[in-house]
């Protein structure tokens, strides 16, 4: 009887949870290794940008593929030439959630360090040099004048008015770019040249948050050697990998292992040692203990938004929580999971399609799977 009851509760939880997941589409990341084939990229100190970028991308992808609910698409997995517009098309066709392009820098000086670009018009001369170098690959493409609408990589002024496509994704692109740069600087003590904006063709054509990462200068003696080494490439891929995972958890939360947790629970229930409670008992126990709080995350952004009804599609109360440079905007709070599901539906109806239930124990966020396990006890 207990077992059946428990099974029923689990089924109800799972059903409610499934219903709350308006989109079960995997989180899709397009990884773009710069250059390839007849285009070696920069050859600072004799190292090949195309090979280093590919090694790093393959390593990032291998690890991302192990995460349930994540789909990885590569613009190239081997040493082949892919046109810039085709790279962007691959991502657009896949309706990807993220586009990450990996490159290595070069300079005539001993310049050193990492920088991550998002698309923007506010580029200075220095950023323009990077854009010029990375965009110049179109000269190797057939008929580039037609494909790039008369774009001239050598003229900074062609930039203006061309960035509308990416504009709505700037905020999220900066979010990821910040996370990547933080990891480079803090975990691996790389010189931090910061998050920058430039008119980069490959990310200008994507319809999703997109960044172009310059993992360092091959032209710098020490950095070139580091980037050409397996350990340097492992460091850089780990930094980017961790940032993508964090970005996903801040914006979408990882609920993909929820059915796993439930299955494991049912198994441990076979030993008949754990006591079982009805669904309403579970709720009321947590409401009494006030151990777990549920809030609805509407979205996360690097922007500071005034907390009034008008800015949140009429939803109130909304609070904010800052994690690093990211502001999370949270609607309501409750000890009652069924109420949380109702709030989530309200948020989704108000237009926040990516909203999700965030759970907290003693003011610390914990995965929803863990929270539900805890209130079942
Ligand atoms: Zn490059």
pLDDT at 259: 33
> What does the block give as tokens for 137?
């690959």
Q: Facing residues of 296 across strands?
A: 331, 357
Q: Read off the pTM.
A: 0.71
Element (H, E) at 301: strand 292-301
335 secondary structure, DSSP code: S
pLDDT at 245: 93
CA distances from 345 to 27, 250, 294 (A): 21, 20, 14
**Domain range summary for the chain, segments of one domain joined by +:** 2-21+255-376, 27-252
Query: What's the 67 CA to ligand 1 centre distance in angstroms?
Result: 28
Query: What's the 51 CA to ligand 1 centre distance in angstroms?
Result: 11
Rounded CA-CA distance 114/194 in Å is 7
| Residues near ion ligand 1 (Cβ under 5 Å) | 34, 41, 103, 134
Which stretches of the chain drop beneath a pLDDT of 50?
A: 18-22, 157-163, 254-279
Query: What's the 148 CA to ligand 1 centre distance in angstroms?
Result: 18
pLDDT at 151: 66
> What does the block give as tokens for 139?
């000269």
Q: What's the chain's length in residues?
A: 377
Query: What's the 85 CA to ligand 1 centre distance in angstroms?
Result: 15
CATH 3.40.630.40 fits 27-252, yes or no: yes
Taking alpha carbons only, the member of 194, 198, 108, 120 closest to residue 153 is 198
Are 244 and 349 in contact, with CB atoms under 8 Å apart?
no
b/e code 173-183 from CB counts within 10 Å (16+ = b): bbbbbbbbbbb
Query: What's the 88 CA to ligand 1 centre distance in angstroms?
Result: 15
CA 305, 252, 117, 153 dihedral sign is negative
pLDDT at 256: 39
Query: What's the 102 CA to ligand 1 centre distance in angstroms?
Result: 7
Query: What's the 82 CA to ligand 1 centre distance in angstroms?
Result: 13
pLDDT at 8: 53
Query: What's the 103 CA to ligand 1 centre distance in angstroms?
Result: 4
Query: What's the 44 CA to ligand 1 centre distance in angstroms?
Result: 11
Query: What's the 169 CA to ligand 1 centre distance in angstroms?
Result: 22
Query: What's the 134 CA to ligand 1 centre distance in angstroms?
Result: 5
Query: What's the 324 CA to ligand 1 centre distance in angstroms?
Result: 29
pLDDT at 167: 66
Are 136 and 153 in contact, with CB atoms under 8 Å apart?
yes
Rounded CA-CA distance 22/68 in Å is 18
Residue written as tokens 């689990």? Answer: 10
């Amino acid at each position: 009887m207990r077992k059946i009851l428990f099974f029923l509760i689990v089924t109800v939880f799972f059903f409610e949870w499934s219903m709350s997941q308006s989109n079960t589409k995997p989180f899709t990341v397009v990884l773009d290794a710069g250059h390839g084939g007849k285009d070696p990229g920069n050859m600072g100190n004799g190292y090949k940008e195309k090979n280093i970028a590919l090694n790093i991308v393959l390593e990032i992808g291998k690890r991302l593929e192990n995460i349930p609910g994540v789909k990885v698409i590569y613009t190239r997995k081997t040493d082949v030439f892919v046109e810039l517009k085709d790279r962007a098309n691959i991502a657009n066709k896949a309706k990807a959630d993220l586009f990450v392009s990996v490159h290595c820098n070069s300079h005539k000086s001993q310049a050193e360090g990492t920088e991550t670009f998002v698309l923007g018009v506010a580029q200075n001369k220095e950023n323009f040099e990077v854009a010029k170098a990375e965009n110049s690959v179109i000269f190797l493409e057939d008929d580039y004048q037609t494909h790039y609408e008369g774009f001239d990589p050598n003229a900074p002024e062609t930039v203006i008015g061309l960035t509308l496509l990416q504009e709505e994704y700037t905020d999220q692109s900066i979010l990821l770019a910040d996370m990547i740069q933080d990891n480079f600087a803090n975990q691996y003590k790389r010189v931090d040249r910061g998050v920058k904006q430039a008119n980069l063709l490959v990310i200008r054509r994507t319809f999703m948050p997109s960044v172009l990462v310059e993992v360092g200068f091959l032209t710098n003696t020490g950095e070139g050697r580091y980037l050409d080494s397996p350990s340097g490439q492992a460091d850089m891929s780990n930094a980017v990998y961790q940032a993508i995972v964090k970005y996903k958890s801040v914006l979408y939360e990882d609920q993909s292992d929820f059915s796993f947790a439930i299955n494991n629970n049912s198994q441990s229930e076979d030993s008949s040692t754990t006591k079982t409670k009805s669904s309403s008992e579970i709720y009321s126990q947590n409401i009494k203990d006030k151990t777990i709080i549920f809030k609805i995350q509407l979205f996360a952004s690097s922007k500071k938004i005034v907390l009034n009804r008008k800015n949140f599609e009429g939803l109130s109360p909304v609070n904010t929580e800052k994690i690093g440079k990211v502001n999370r905007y949270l609607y309501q709070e409750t000890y009652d999971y069924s109420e949380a599901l109702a709030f989530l539906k309200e948020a989704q109806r108000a237009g926040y399609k990516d909203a999700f239930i965030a759970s907290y124990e003693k003011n610390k966020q914990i995965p929803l799977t863990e929270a539900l396990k805890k209130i079942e006890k």
